[in-house]
Chain A
C-alpha cells in the first residue's frame, strides 16, 4: 500500500544526505584560518548596522495573514476542481457564492489600504 510513496522516501533521503553531507564535507575539507575580520558578521561588504534580530514591520504580518486566509480558499478549490465535471452548474454556483463572499473581504482589505506598502 505504501509502496507508491517509495519515490518520496528516496527524494527525502537524498535531500537529507545532501544537506548533512555538504555540512560534514565542508568541515572536513575546508581550510580554517579564522581572524577577527573573518569572524565578523557579514552584511554585503558593508559594516553592519544593528543586530540581526531587528524588529520587523507589521506590514509583513498583514500580508502573511491574508496569505493564510486565501490559502485556505485555494485548498477548498482542489476537491471542487476534481469534482467539477460531475457537479456541473450546481457546483459552479456553490463555489461562486463562496468566492464572492471572500471577495467582499478582499475588497474590504483593499479599500482599507492594508495591501499598500507605503
Chain B
C-alpha cells in the first residue's frame, strides 16, 4: 500500500517537474509547480512530518506560487510567447545527467549512517509533530529564529524599495 503510494506520487512529481521545465506558457509551468509541491507534501506526511506538509502547502502552494502567478500577469507574459524559448538543450541535458549520475552513485554505494536519535515514530506519535518542532525551534535554535526575523525585515524593505516606482 505504502509502496504503491510512493511510486504513484513519484511518477506524478517527476512528470510535473518535467512539465515545469518544458511548458511554453509560464502559467502552465506555475500550475505544474503546484502539483510538485502537493506531491512533496504527500511525502512529508508519509515521513511522519504532518506539520511540514501543512506549511509546505501554506507557504509554497499558497503564497509563493500566488506571487509568481501575479508577476506573470503583471508582466503579461501570456501573449509574449517567443519563437525560441529554450537554449543549450544538449549541453544542459548532459550536465543534468552527470548530476543525476553522481548523486545516484553516492546513494547506491554510500550508506546513510548515523542512526539512533531520540525522535522515533513512537515519540512523534505520543508528543505530536508540531510540539517537537516547537521544542527544537524555540529552545535549541533560538538565535537562527531571531535572525530569520531580520532576514524577513530586510526582504520587506528591499522588495518595497525595488518594486515601488518612486521611492
A interface vs B, CB < 8 Å? 1-2, 5, 51, 53-58, 60-62, 64-69, 71-73, 75-76, 78-80, 82-83, 86-87, 91, 94, 97-99, 101-102, 104-106, 108-109, 112, 114
How many chain B residues sit at the interface, stated as a range, is 35 or more
B164 close to A112 (CB less than 8 A)? yes
The B interface is mostly helix, strand or loop, or mixed, namely helix
The 4 A-B pairs at the shortest CB distance, nearest first, are namely A79-B134, A83-B134, A105-B156, A101-B149
- With contacts A79-B131, A102-B149 taken as known, whether A94 is within 8 angstroms of B160 at the C-beta atoms is no
B61-96, CB < 8 A from A: 62-64, 66-67, 70-71, 73-76, 78-79
- With contacts A101-B150, A101-B153, A102-B152 taken as known, whether A71 is within 8 angstroms of B134 at the C-beta atoms is no
Task: Give the A-B pair count, Cβ closer than 8 A.
Answer: 133
Kindly report which residue of chain B lies nearest to residue A103, judged by CB atoms: B153
B134 close to A105 (CB less than 8 A)? no
Q: Which of A97, A98, A99, A105 has the most CB of B within 10 A?
A: A105
Chain B residues near A76: list those with CB within 8 A.
137, 145, 148
A69 close to B152 (CB less than 8 A)? yes
A75 close to B134 (CB less than 8 A)? no
A79 close to B74 (CB less than 8 A)? no
- With contacts A2-B46, A62-B163 taken as known, whether A109 is within 8 angstroms of B156 at the C-beta atoms is yes
- With contacts A2-B2, A56-B70 taken as known, whether A79 is within 8 angstroms of B130 at the C-beta atoms is yes
Give complex CA distance A57, B73 in Å.
Answer: 9
